[in-house]
Structures are given as C-alpha cells and as structure tokens.
Structure 1
Amino acid sequence: MSILNVSNVSHGFGSRVILEDASFRLLKGEHVGLVGANGEGKSTFLNIITGKLMPDEGDVSWCNHITTGYLDQYSTLEKGKSIRDILKSAFSAMFELEKETMELYEKMADCTPEEMDAILEEVGEIQSILESSDFYNLDSKIEEYAAGLGLMEIGLDRDVSELSGGQRAKILLAKVLLENPMILILDEPTNFLDENHIVWLKNFLKNYENAFILVSHDIPFLNEVTNVIYHIEKAVLTRYTGDYYQFRDMYELKKRQIEMAYKKQQKEIANLEDFIARNKARVATTNMAKDRQKKLDRMEIIEIAREKPKPIFGFKTARTPSREIIEVKDLVIGYDEPLTRALNFSIERNQKIAIRGVNGLGKSTLLNTILGKIQPICGEVEHGQFLEIGYFKQEEKSSNTPALNEFWDEFPSFTNAEARAALARCGLTNDHITSQMRVLSGGENAKVRLAKIMNREINFLVLDEPTNHLDIDAKEELKRAIKEFQGTVVMVSHEPDFYMDIATEIWDVENWTTKVV
C-alpha cells in the first residue's frame, strides 16, 4: 500500500530548476535512500513532502492517519529545557492520554451507573493504548536511546542551551526516533555522530519496522539500511530497487547504454546528412534524399546530459614555518569546567593529525584553544614562527549575502572573472554563486567556505568535520587535496574512511577527557 504519493511536482528558485515533473511513491515498510550531488534538491524535496515548502506545480498526498517524524539539517531546540524534557516531549500524545485518564477517574466520584460503565470502557481503551505503547517504561526507553546516541555522558538534566550544535543534533535525532512514526524522514542524521553511535543508528534503522526516507552522504551507512534508492540528477527523480551499490551499478550501466546509443545515432545522423548533401541536387536520387530527410526529421534525438562540474580542490602553501608549529604546556581546555586533564604535546611541521572521539569531549574546543580563539582554563599554547592558518569551522552562520560577494569580501583585489573562476573550481555554478549563502545546500555552503581557504597561502590547515555535507565526489577530491598539501594538517572527523589514508597520527580525545565515557 502506498502511504505517500508525489505526482508531477516541479519547483525552482528564480531561474534555477530544482525538480521537474517529479513523481515518487513510498510503500509501507520501505527503507528509501534519497541520493544526489550537493545542490541537486534533496532537502528541497523533503521540505515539499513535509509541507514546509509549496511546490510550483504538482500534488503531494499522504494516506489518512499517518504519523511522520522529520529530522532536518536546521531544526532548533527550545531554550531552558533539559535534554530529558525534550526527549519526554516525544510522548506528549501519551501524556495527554494519561491526563485524560486522571480526569475520567475524577468523574467516577459523582456519576450514574450507566456513566460509570461508559467511563470504565473508555479508561480501559486508553490503558490498552498506553500499555501497548510501553508508556509505563518510558524512562528506561529514553535512557536506552540516549545511551545509543551518546547523550548519557552529557547528562540528561543539562539545559539544551548549554550544548554544542552536534549535541543538539543528537537530541533532535533521539526525539524523532522515540516518536516511532509511521514515516521517519532523516536528513544527514550521521553528521554529528561518532563511529559507535553510527553503528547503533545503523542497527536501529535496519530493524525499523516502519518506512523511512534517508538523505546521507555516508555511503557505507546508507547502503546497509536501504532497500530502495531515489536519485535526483538535473531536476529528474528516478527510482531504483535495491541498496546503494546496486543502484550505482544500474546507474552506470544505464549511463553506458545511453552513451552507446548516442554514438550509434550520431553515426547514423552523419551518414544520412552526408547522403542528403550528395544526392539532393541530382534528379535521379532526389527522392531518395527526401526520404532520408524525412527519416532524419522524425528521429528522436538522444541527448547526453552535460556532466555536472566536479570540484578541483588545492591548497596554496605559504612559506615554511618553524619546526614546531604548536607547543602545548599543561593545557586544560573547557568553558565553565575542565574537559581534559593537563595536556602536553607539540605539533610539528608537515604532520597530518586526525582527532577522533565521542562528541562533547572537547574536539572543537581543543581546536579553538590551540588557535587562540578561546582562552584555556589553564596552561599555555605557543605558536611557532611564520604560521599561516586556514581554519574550516564545523558550524558557521549563513548570511543573506550572495556566495560571490561572500567570497569577494575576503579577496577584494580579485577581478570578477578571478572570483568566479575560484568558485567554479570548487564545483559551484553561476546559479550557486549568485544565490544567497542561506539558501545554498550544506554542501554548496561548505564549498564556498573551502574556496576562501584555498585562495590564501597557508601552512597550517585546521579542519573541523569538513565532510559533514559534502557529496562523494567532493569528499574524494578533498581527501586528495589534503594528501597533496605541503603543510601541517589537524582535522576532526568521525569518518575513518576519510582520514585513515591521510593521517600520520590519530589522537583520541577519550584518552584525555575528565568525563566518564
């Protein structure tokens, strides 16, 4: 049975077409992966089916009495609430039923025998719903999900306003999973998860009885939990049955078949045009030439889609710095309270260091401290001579400024052509660079920020979760560029597939933390 139908939906922003005549169906229990390059319209499609965005054309229809849970990239949390409060709100409908039960019990004190029978029947129905939903074990269920996603070590009584963006994303994910909706919609759920929490989520989704739609650039994760793939490319939405690797094989086969048919047709067109040109003027063969022209006119021309521009990343190297570029002495990091024991280490020229560990233990705080952006609780950080830093932040607030102007503000000496060329090398088209930063996808936004770093001469590259929103091509190209960079690299990442080939050393913050992990 189809529980969601999307019929002939088209949508665009200005001159940019995002979806064209797209149709989609979701069957009960299907596990759908929605894939496509950065900026192809995956988040736009999710916003359309959830009613956050009205399509320019087409219809979206859900079956009756459907429940949905939507985790998007830009969800927010209410200040002043604890983590436990937010997670409990997943069961607000059940708490309302419990409240209704208490009101019915109060009515029993003063009612007729007939009313008593009706009340008892209604209470029985509510109790049955609550028991089947495991309402009386909610606390243990909340703690199970919180432990699986790494929230227990933060503390369930912590105010959500005190937390990092990654921690808030985990809370939203736990809440939407606890809701157990008939359709679960997840946009990049692994972005802020550590390796062990990704494993927990993977097992959860593999065993999820209801349907879900998942957007993720984490291909091994996506492949293991999906059985249907919808692919968006050049505003066209196409359905494939199977996991991601099966989709990829079918897509490549289909692409090769179209290319072969195109070459064959182009050869046939060339032969027809040659025959027509040689024979249309001769009386004896003019009718044959006309027949060939009719055949040519009736031919349905096969078109090869122009390849989407792929990013070409590269970092400019500044002058050689001193041998020890960072030296740390008895450093304790944190804000209101220490996150680590006293640290003593140095970072040497041309090292490539990957930092991993559970979220909330201070990975981003460590980067900001050694860069001098926040003060340590105690200890010293010394920078070597001639240090030129390129820093990619995990989170950066988007502005209303067009991408081209955002880049130009950093490099006012660039000509228009130079600025456009620099952004084009990062895989950004004219439509992207003339759009405001806030309407770009997460991946497009990241490419603009990377372009700023790549056009400065640096010798110390600091990256905080750089792959969170990047598509497959961009990830692979960034990995190549980091490998080839003739300088020092420190990166925070939760993707071993990305950093294992790059890192000369791997630091685990769990070895430094003062918290119980």
Structure 2
Amino acid sequence: MILACQNISKSFGVEPVIRNVSFHVEDQEKVAIVGINGAGKSTLLKIIVGELPADEGTVTLAKGKTLGYLAQHQDMDDARTIYETVLEGKRQLIDMEQKIRELEEGMQSVSKEEMESYMESYHKLLHEFEARDGYSYRSEVSGVLKGLGFSEDDFEKHCNELSGGQKTRVSLARLLVTHPDIILLDEPTNHLDIESIQWLETFLMNYKGAVVIVAHDRYFLDRIVTKVVEISMHKSAVFDGNYTEYAKKAAFAREEALRAYYNQQREIKHQEAVIEKLKSFNREKSIKRAESREKQLAKIDVLEKPQEEKSEMHMTLTPSVISGNDVLRVEGLSKAYDQKKLFQDISFEIKRGERVALIGQNGTGKTTILKILNEKVDADAGSFTLGTNVKIGYYDQEQQVLHMEKTLMEEIADDYPKLTQTRIRNILAAFLFTEDDVFKRVSDLSGGERGRLSLAKLMLSEANFLILDEPTNHLDIASKEILESALNRYEGTVLFVSHDRYFINRTATRILNLTEQKIVNYIGNYDYYLEKKETNERAYLNTGETVEVVKEDVSEGKTDWQSQKEEQAKKRKIQNRVKKIEEEIESLEEKLSELEEQFQDPAVATNSAKLGKLHSEQVEVQEKLDGLYEEWEALASD
C-alpha cells in the first residue's frame, strides 16, 4: 500500500463536503475518484496533497514516496518558455549533468593521491545518471510536449502569454516528466484533443507509479483505471474494475438497497395488518399470536431509505416543426487565419435524423466550421445551404450566446417573453438552478453552470437542427448521461463537436474526421471509426470514397405473458382462500362463544352426559380454529 485515506471528513461552515471517506492505493494501481459536481472530489485531492487540512481523519503516504499533483486551474505567470518550464521538472538530472561536467573538467588538476577517490565519486555519479536515463531526458521532455499537443514551434512561447488551457497542458507535461511515485490528476483531459488524450492514456497505462484521477471522461477512465472510489452523499464506496464495471455495480447496489428497503417496508406494513387482524378476532390465542408478532416486529433492524444526490437535470428536446429530409449541404468550404489553412474545399451533407460528430485535433478548424454555419464567421470560399424548414439551435462552448450582465431569469425571459415567471423558474429548476440562484448574474456563474444555462435555452428553442460545440464540457457524468438520452430521443438533427469519446460513441450515427484540411466520413459510431481509421483513412484522403457500415438490429426480449397470468391467478386463489378462512374463523369463534354460554347453563352443569358432549364439541371446534389460524397466518405472510 502506497497511500491510505482513513475516515477523511471536511466541512465548509456548517455544510459537510465529505464524511468518513476511506480508501487505499496500491503501488502502480490506477484509481478514479468519481461523483457529481460539488461532491468533494477536488477537495479530497487537495487534502491528500496537503493544500487543505482535513477536519478529521488521516492521510498516510508510504515512507520515501513522492506525490505529484495537477489542479484543474493553473495560475502560471512564468516568463520562461514552454520548453524551459517543462525542462525544470528534470532539475535533479540537470544538476547531476552539470556536476558530471564539472568533475570531468576538474580531472586535470587532481593529484595522484586523490585520483582514486575522485574517480570513484565520478563513476558513482555517472552510473546514477545513466540509471535514471540521464542521456535521454531532453528528448523525453520534447516527446511529452508533443504528445500533449504542442508543436516544436510552440516550445519557445512564453508561459505568461498562454491561454488557461495551454497553461494546464504545460503543468501536466512538467508533472509527467518528474515521475513521482503517485500522480494525482484533477480533470486532466479538459484541454486536450482526442489524439492527446489517447497519448496520455497510453502514458498512464504504462506508468510505473500509481495514478489517482478525477475525471468526467468515461472512455478515458475505462481505458486506464482498475478501481473506482465513488463520492456520493458525502460518503465513499470503493468498486473494483473500470468505469463501465463500476457503473453497473453501483447501479445494481443502489437498486438492491432500494429493493431491500421497500421489501422491508412492505413486510412491516403487512405484519402490522396481520397483528391488527389477529387482535380483531378478540380471542386469547389470537391476541397472544398478535403479541408474539409485535415482539418479533420490534426486533427488526429498520433500514434507512437510500438517498441519492439531487443532481439530475431534466431535459427534453422537442423540435417545433419537422424539417425537410435534406438538412445541410456544405460545398467547397475553405478557411485560413494568418496564412495558416485550417481546411480547404471540404464538402458534406447531413440528412434529417442524423447525429453527426465532427472530430479532429485542436486547431484544425472544427469550431470554425460551426461558427460559419451559424454565420458568426465568414468562409474564405465555398458555401452552405440549409434545407426546408430548418431551424438552428446553437450551443457555443464559449457561451457567447449568453449575456454576462443579465440575471438567469432575465436571460430566459428576454429571449422567451411569453413565458411566465413560474414557468421560467420551473425550467431553471430542471437544470438545477433553484430559489435565489435565479437572481445570480450570468457573469458570476461557473463554467459548468453557464453550460447548464445554455442547455436550458437550447431546450426552449424548439429547434430541429442542433449545432453543439463541446456540449459536455464542465458537465458531470450524470448530466452527460441525461444529455445523451435527450439527444438519442430527439426527433431532429444534430451536428456536434466533442472530445468526449464515450459521449460520441453513445450518440453519433456518423463521424466526420477533419484531418489534413479534409473531411473523412465514417457511417457509424466512435468504436467503428477507431476500427476503420488506420486501414481506410489514407485511401479515403486520396480517393474520396465513403466508408459505410451496416448496423445490426438488436431485438428486444419478449414478455412472458403466460407466466404473468399464472402468477396473477395464483395470487387471486390465495386472496380468495384467505377471505374464506376469515369467514370460517368468525363462524367458529361464534360457535365457541355459544358453547361457553351453554357451559354456564345450570341444567347442563348437572348433566354429565351433556357436559361430555359439549366438551368434545368444544375440543373439535378449537382444533379446527387453531388449524385455520395457522393456515391464515401462513397465507397472510406470503
């Protein structure tokens, strides 16, 4: 075990964030921490690295082990170049190399008496330098930077001139080249394109140390991790396996816990009803049976109802009108910035009902294409044509369609003046904005909150052609799944840019890969694209032929109606028998009362023959009654 978290708790004010969180990490293990936005994942990482104190609990790092941490946001005002900043991660090797050079230069002035000791120090240092791959550290730095999407031309850019996303990539590169025993990564894929994410996956899978990742990229987690720590309702649960295995196990565990709770509640209510019925018979034995059941009921360890995070958006996308079959035709589109060609002479069509993912490396022009289609940017050449009755709904990853100075209420009300305040509040609540949240200014929202607000406006647009630029950025996994479900039910057409491969796989019916300034078309989802990319892409770039795939239909299982009918008939039979037994019990109880009255008759008391007959009859009735009680309890307990 290299790292252990034991009963970690943290609150901000009176609000608990995490409570009694416990898990451990083995050497070379790859672990994911998952949960909704605000669950406390980043807080937990900060506690582990010592940036925040825990209110309770302990973090134990194995002796002599090192931690490396990448936060979500980087405040880097370093005047050094990108290359120099990442190279600093190799400071120990740089100093070692400098010391070796100094020893080599000083050999000429060493006396014969000191030479043996001098050479021993030199060879020892040289051996350590070689063992730590000292001769290749500069090429490693270059390789990591290129893997994370930087070109050699970028290496000389100064860090204080970079965007937030570029600074995060520089910080990640520097962390990776330091080779700590445990790497802690908070949303490392947010600013990477698909190829860089794939490179990082390979790096982390082969990494000799342990890795702890907070990420909403399910495809990334599926490829890397072997254990998942779930933070939910402030508490933790640990699951073996990758993300998909965790999701199945966690869903099953929640269903089982809920099923156990409802089954117990039904049993408690049932037992209470049986006890009430037994008491209503008003006989000594039935009352004793009722009291016995009450004692058993009191011993039950009552389960608490499982709670779930109230985090789910409620999203339905409904087009106001149906468009024509031809939704979009792009012909000969070209665009360049500052002499750099993004794409040239690209053409494609989109038909009604398609969900098309536009993918490619950062900087190839994907977002630019969407902006051209939304008339935010002019093309250098070419044209596009929208089909009949096409109404566009646009989701902009930069949220330029939002007005920073407005409140959330104003943002919706100004665009949709016919909506009542109650309706607007309900819509915002469906996207997790409740109570006074609706009076916040857009400028005060986080990136995730602005994303949810943009999705709320998109839902209201009633568009039949959705153009979405990175719609899953800043969304937690639960919200992504809701968006996926909404898009898969959507009766309109979708064109979207995304780096989220799991999202693409779940929603896309076609992939357009923007590569080498051209479009390569794949009829299928992301898995199909991966399968065919290596063999078909080069040929397609030369010939322009379309790759196609025929998807197999998945037949749904048929319901066994006969089995259901038999079960219903069995239940009706039991219900009828219970009712008949209750009638018989009532009749026999009356018969016992009559017999007891006869025992009180003075004439009977002096007639031994009559007494004997009454006693025999009383025993017979009591035996029947006892048998009926037992049968009734058995049937009533089913």
Q: TM-score range by the shorter chain?
A: 0.7 to 0.9
Check the 8 A contact 2:73/2:164 in 1, yes or no: no
Deviation (angstroms), 1:75? 2.8
Match of 1:491, SS? strand
**What CA distance in whole angstroms lies between the structure 2 residues aligned with 1:365 and 1:154?**
22
Deviation (angstroms), 1:416? 5.5
User: 1:255 and 1:354, CA in 2 relative to 1: closer, same or farther beyond 3 A?
Assistant: closer
Which residue in 2 is equivalent to 1:355?
358
Deviation (angstroms), 1:294? 5.7
Percent same amino acid at aligned positions? 31
User: 1:194 and 1:392, CA in 2 relative to 1: closer, same or farther beyond 3 A?
Assistant: same
**Which stretch has the larger CA shift, 432-441 or 305-314?**
432-441
Write the mapping of 1:397-408 to structure 2, written as runs, cut at 5 A: 405-406=407-408, 408=410
**Which stretch has the larger CA shift, 456-465 or 84-93?**
456-465
User: 1:63 and 1:494, CA in 2 relative to 1: closer, same or farther beyond 3 A?
Assistant: same
TM-score scaled to structure 2, two decimals? Answer: 0.66
Match of 1:422, SS? helix
Which residue in 2 is equivalent to 1:313?
315
Which residue in 1 is equivalent to 2:484?
479
**Which stretch has the larger CA shift, 98-107 or 262-271?**
98-107
Match of 2:468, SS? strand
Amino acid at match of 2:314: I
**Which stretch has the larger CA shift, 319-328 or 352-361?**
319-328
Match of 2:515, SS? helix
- Deviation string 1:474-497 (CA, Å, 9 cap, x unpaired) is 333323333444555331123455
**What CA distance in whole angstroms lies between the structure 2 residues aligned with 1:420 and 1:65?**
55
Deviation (angstroms), 1:454? 2.0
**Which stretch has the larger CA shift, 203-212 or 91-100?**
91-100
Which residue in 1 is equivalent to 2:569?
none
Which residue in 1 is equivalent to 2:172?
173
Match of 1:66, SS? coil
Which residue in 1 is equivalent to 2:511?
506
Write the mapping of 1:38-437 to structure 2, written as runs, cut at 5 A: 38-78=37-77, 80-99=79-98, 125-152=124-151, 155-160=154-159, 167-274=166-273, 277=276, 296-309=297-310, 310-317=312-319, 331-334=334-337, 336-343=338-345, 345=347, 350=352, 352-374=355-377, 378-379=380-381, 389-395=392-398, 405-406=407-408, 408-411=410-413, 417-426=422-431
Match of 2:342, SS? coil
Match of 2:266, SS? helix
User: 1:387 and 1:242, CA in 2 relative to 1: closer, same or farther beyond 3 A?
Assistant: closer
Match of 2:368, SS? helix
Which residue in 1 is equivalent to 2:461?
456
**What CA distance in whole angstroms lies between the structure 2 residues aligned with 1:26 and 1:156?**
35
CA radius of gyration, larger in: 2
User: 1:504 and 1:226, CA in 2 relative to 1: closer, same or farther beyond 3 A?
Assistant: closer
**Which stretch has the larger CA shift, 228-237 or 92-101?**
92-101
Match of 2:156, SS? coil
- Deviation string 1:183-221 (CA, Å, 9 cap, x unpaired) is 011233334444444433333222222111122333343
**Which stretch has the larger CA shift, 111-120 or 211-220?**
111-120
Deviation (angstroms), 1:70? 1.9
Structure 1: any 5+ residue segments left out of the alignment? none
Deviation (angstroms), 1:306? 3.4
**Which stretch has the larger CA shift, 406-415 or 305-314?**
406-415
Correspondence 1:34 to 2:33: yes
Match of 1:301, SS? coil
Deviation (angstroms), 1:15? 5.7
**What CA distance in whole angstroms lies between the structure 1 residues aligned with 2:442 and 2:56?**
26
**What CA distance in whole angstroms lies between the structure 2 residues aligned with 1:455 and 1:364?**
23
**What CA distance in whole angstroms lies between the structure 1 residues aligned with 2:445 and 2:308?**
20
- Please give the root-mean-square deviation of Cα atoms over the aligned residues, in Å: 4.5
- Deviation string 1:55-114 (CA, Å, 9 cap, x unpaired) is 343333333443222223323444654332232122133334445666777888999999
Amino acid at match of 1:225: I
**What CA distance in whole angstroms lies between the structure 1 residues aligned with 2:295 and 2:467?**
63
Check the 8 A contact 1:6/1:24 in 2, yes or no: yes
Match of 1:156, SS? helix
Deviation (angstroms), 1:237? 0.5
**Which stretch has the larger CA shift, 346-355 or 253-262?**
346-355
Deviation (angstroms), 1:151? 2.7
Which residue in 1 is equivalent to 2:497?
492
Match of 2:341, SS? coil
Count of residue pairs brought into register by the alignment? 509
Match of 2:155, SS? coil
User: 1:180 and 1:286, CA in 2 relative to 1: closer, same or farther beyond 3 A?
Assistant: same
User: 1:290 and 1:417, CA in 2 relative to 1: closer, same or farther beyond 3 A?
Assistant: farther
Check the 8 A contact 1:333/1:366 in 2, yes or no: no
Which has the larger helix fraction? 2
User: 1:154 and 1:482, CA in 2 relative to 1: closer, same or farther beyond 3 A?
Assistant: farther
Amino acid at match of 2:304: E
Correspondence 1:446 to 2:451: yes
TM-score scaled to structure 1, two decimals? Answer: 0.79
Match of 2:216, SS? coil
**What CA distance in whole angstroms lies between the structure 1 residues aligned with 2:465 and 2:164?**
25
User: 1:333 and 1:254, CA in 2 relative to 1: closer, same or farther beyond 3 A?
Assistant: same
**What CA distance in whole angstroms lies between the structure 1 residues aligned with 2:436 and 2:231?**
17
User: 1:512 and 1:249, CA in 2 relative to 1: closer, same or farther beyond 3 A?
Assistant: closer
**What CA distance in whole angstroms lies between the structure 2 residues aligned with 1:466 and 1:238?**
29
Match of 2:479, SS? helix
Deviation (angstroms), 1:360? 2.4
**What CA distance in whole angstroms lies between the structure 2 residues aligned with 1:221 and 1:67?**
24
Which residue in 1 is equivalent to 2:553?
none
Check the 8 A contact 1:361/1:513 in 2, yes or no: no
Check the 8 A contact 1:407/1:452 in 2, yes or no: no
**Which stretch has the larger CA shift, 463-472 or 281-290?**
281-290
Check the 8 A contact 1:164/1:360 in 2, yes or no: no
Check the 8 A contact 1:340/1:513 in 2, yes or no: no
Check the 8 A contact 2:332/2:345 in 1, yes or no: yes
Deviation (angstroms), 1:471? 4.2
User: 1:124 and 1:415, CA in 2 relative to 1: closer, same or farther beyond 3 A?
Assistant: farther
User: 1:237 and 1:131, CA in 2 relative to 1: closer, same or farther beyond 3 A?
Assistant: same
Amino acid at match of 1:148: G
User: 1:451 and 1:122, CA in 2 relative to 1: closer, same or farther beyond 3 A?
Assistant: farther
**What CA distance in whole angstroms lies between the structure 2 residues aligned with 1:99 and 1:503?**
54
**What CA distance in whole angstroms lies between the structure 1 residues aligned with 2:82 and 2:14?**
43
